[in-house]
Amino acid sequence: MKTKTREAFFTFASKNRHFLIMIYWLFYLPWFDYLERTVTTHFHVIHMAIDDYIPFCEYFIVPYLLWFGYVAWGILYFYFKDREEYLKLCAVLFTGMTIFLIISTVYPNGHYLRPDVYERDNIFVSLVRWLHATDTPTNLFPSIHVYNSIAVNAAVWHSSRFKQNRMVRFGSAALMVSIVLATMFLKQHSVFDVVTGIALAVFLYSIVYNANWAQVFGRLQRQKVRRRIS
Establish if 131 belongs to a structural domain: yes
Establish if 90 belongs to a structural domain: yes
Residue type, 14: S
Domain that holds residue 40: 27-229
Establish if 93 belongs to a structural domain: yes
CA atoms within 13 A on the CB side of 81: 13
The pLDDT of residue 213 is: 54
The pLDDT of residue 116 is: 86
The pLDDT of residue 151 is: 96
* 53 closest CA partner among 166, 150, 187: 187
Q: What SS3 class is residue 70?
A: helix
The pLDDT of residue 224 is: 56
Contacts (Cβ under 8 Å, ≥6 apart) of 64: 131, 145, 179, 182, 183, 186, 188
* 67 closest CA partner among 196, 189, 158, 203: 189
Tell me the C-alpha distance between 199 and 46, whole Å.
17
Residue type, 19: F
Total domains in the fold of the chain? 1
* 119 closest CA partner among 109, 129, 133: 129
Q: What is the pTM of this model?
A: 0.85
Q: Which residues of the chain have pLDDT under 70?
A: 1-19, 211-230
Tell me the C-alpha distance between 230 and 226, whole Å.
6
The pLDDT of residue 40 is: 81
